[in-house]
Chain A
Amino acid sequence: MGPILIVMENGASGFVDSSKELITKGREIAKNLEISSIAVGFGQDAESQLKNLPVDRVIAITNPELSQYHPLAYEKTLSEIVKKEEPYLTLVANTTMGMDLGAGVASSVSLPLIAYCNQVAIAGQEVVATSSVFAGKLMAEIVVPKSGAVLTVMPGAWSATEDSGSPQVDVLSVDIPPSMRILRTIEPEKSDVDITKADILISVGRGIEGPENLTLAEELAEAIGGVVSCSRPVVDAGWLPKSRQVGKSGQTVKPKLYMAFGISGAPEHQQGMKDADLIIAVNTDENASIMDIAHFGTTVDMLELMPALTERLRGE
Chain B
Amino acid sequence: MIGQDILMVLTILMFLSATGYFVYRMLPIFRVMQKARSTNRLDNWPRRLSFMLGQVFGHKRLLRLRLSGILHFFIFSGFVVLMIDVITAIVQVFDPHITLDAPLAFVVDLWAVLVLIGILLAVYQRAVIKPERYHGSDERDGYIILAMIATIMIGIFLHESFYPFAAPYLFHVHPSLNPWGFVGYLLGHLWLSTHLASNPVVAESGYILGYLLDIGMVFAFLAYLPTSKHLHIFLAVPSIFLHKTRPHGELVPPLPEDEGMAIRTFTDVNWKDVLDLFTCTECGRCQAVCPAYAAGQPLSPKMVILELRDALRKELNGEDSVPLAGGVVKAEELWACTTCGACQEACPVFIEHVPKIAGLRAALLEDGEVDKNSQKVLVGWDRQGNSFGQPPRKRPAWTKALEAPIKDARKEAVDWLWFVGDFASYDPRLQELSRLVAQILQQAGIDFGILYEGEANAGNEALRLGEFGLFETLAQKNLKWLESAQYNQIFTTDPHSFNALRNEYRKFGFEKPVKHYTQAFLDLIEQGRLSPAPLRIRVTYHDPCYLGRWNRVLDAPRQLLERMGVELIEMPRHGANSFCCGAGGGRIWMEEVGIKERPADNRIREALSLNDVNYFVVACPKDMSMFSAAVQSTGSENRIKVVDVAELLAQAVGLSVPQSAVAIK
Chains A and B are bound partners:
yes
Q: Which residues of A contact B (CB under 8 A)?
A: 206, 232-233, 236, 242, 248-250, 266-268, 289
Chain B contact residues: helix, strand, loop or mixed:
helix
**Structural contact, B428 and A233, CB atoms closer than 8 A:** no
Known A267-B427, A267-B429; judge A248-B629 contact (CB<8 A): no
A232 touching B633 in the complex, CB below 8 Å, given contacts A248-B373, A267-B427: yes
CB contacts (< 8 Å) of A236 on chain B: these are: 598, 601, 633
Q: Which of A233, A242, A248 contacts B633 (CB 8 A)?
A: A233
14 additional A-B pairs beyond A206-B632, A233-B633, A267-B428, beta carbons within 8 Å, are A232-B629, A232-B633, A233-B632, A236-B598, A236-B633, A242-B592, A242-B593, A249-B590, A249-B591, A249-B592, A267-B429, A268-B625, A268-B629, A289-B428
10 examples of A-B residue contacts, CB within 8 angstroms: A206-B632, A233-B632, A233-B633, A248-B589, A266-B429, A266-B629, A267-B428, A267-B625, A268-B629, A289-B428
Which residues of B in the span 553-598 have a Cβ within 8 Å of any Cβ on A?
589-593, 598
Q: Closest approach, in angstroms, between the C-beta of A242 and any C-beta of chain B?
A: 8
The interface residues of chain A lying within 8 Å CB-to-CB of B428 are 267, 289
CA A91 to CA B601, docked complex, whole Å: 55
In the assembled complex, the Cα of A233 lies from the Cα of B428 at a distance in Å of 20
State in angstroms the CA–CA spacing of A143 and B640 once bound together: 62
Closest to A245 in B: B592
Nearest chain A CB to B617 CB, angstrom units? 21
Residues of A within 8 A of B429 (CB): 266-267
Total interface residues on B, CB under 8 Å, equals: 15
State the CA gap A186–B598 with chains docked (Å).
39
6 nearest A-B residue pairs (beta carbon): A236-B633, A249-B592, A233-B633, A267-B427, A233-B632, A267-B428
A250 to B428, CA, bound (A): 20
In chain B between 411 and 449, which residues have their CB closer than 8 angstroms to a CB of chain A? 427-429
Please name all residues of chain A whose beta carbon is closer than 8 Å to the beta carbon of B625 when the two chains form the complex. Answer: 267-268
Whole-angstrom CA separation of A248 from B592 in the bound complex: 10
CA distance A39 to B603 in the complex (A): 66
Select from chain A the residue with minimum beta-carbon distance to B628.
Answer: A266
Q: Please give the distance in Å from A105's CB to the nearest CB on chain B.
A: 36
What residues of A have a CB within 8 angstroms of the CB of B592 in the complex?
242, 249
Residue-by-residue, is B595-607 near A (CB-CB < 8 Å gives 1, otherwise 0)?
0001001000000
> How distant is B589 from chain A, measured CB to nearest CB, in Å?
7
CB within 8 Å of A: which of B383-436?
427-429
Q: How far is the CA of A250 from the CA of B372 in the complex (A)?
A: 12
Q: Determine the chain A residues whose CB is within 8 A of the CB of B598 once the complex forms.
A: 236
Q: How far is the CB of A104 from chain B (nearest CB, A)?
A: 32
**Which residues of chain A are near B632, meaning CB under 8 Å?**
206, 233
| A contact residues around B629 at 8 Å (CB) | 232, 266, 268
Chain A residues near B601: list those with CB within 8 A: 236
Instruction: Encode B607-626 as 1/0 by CB contact (under 8 A) with A.
Output: 00000000000000000010
Q: Name B592's closest neighbour in chain A (CB-CB).
A: A249
Residues of chain B contacted by A266 (CB below 8 angstroms): 429, 629
List of B residues within 8 angstroms of A233 by Cβ? 632-633
A297 to B629, CA, bound (A): 24
B590 (CB) vs chain A CBs: closest residue: A249
**A268 — which chain B residues lie within 8 A by C-beta?**
625, 629
How far is the CB of B627 from the nearest CB of chain A, in Å? 13
Taking each of A236, A242, A266, A268, which has the highest tally of chain B beta carbons within 10 Å of its own beta carbon?
A: A236
Residues of B contacting A248 in the complex (Cβ-Cβ under 8 angstroms): 373, 589
Contacts of A267 in B (CB 8 A): 427-429, 625
| Cα(A100)–Cα(B499), bound, Å | 52
Write the chain B residue with the least CB distance to A234: B633
- What's the Cα separation between A193 and B221 when bound, in Å? 60
A92 CB to nearest chain B CB (Å): 33
CA distance A266 to B625 in the complex (A): 10
Kindly list chain B residues whose C-beta atoms are within 8 Å of the C-beta of A289: 428
Closest to A233 in B: B633
Cβ contacts under 8 Å, A250 to chain B: 591
- What is the CB-to-nearest-CB distance from A235 to chain B, in angstroms, rounded to a whole number? 9
CB distance from B314 to the nearest CB of A (A): 37
Residues on A with C-beta less than 8 A from B373 are: 248-249
Tell me how far the C-beta of A133 lies from the nearest C-beta in chain B, rounded to whole angstroms.
20
User: Nearest-CB distance from B621 to chain A (Å)?
Assistant: 12
The smallest C-beta distance from A259 to any residue of chain B, in angstroms, reads 21
Interchain CA distance A206-B632 in the complex, whole Å: 9
Nearest-CB residue, chain A, relative to B591:
A249
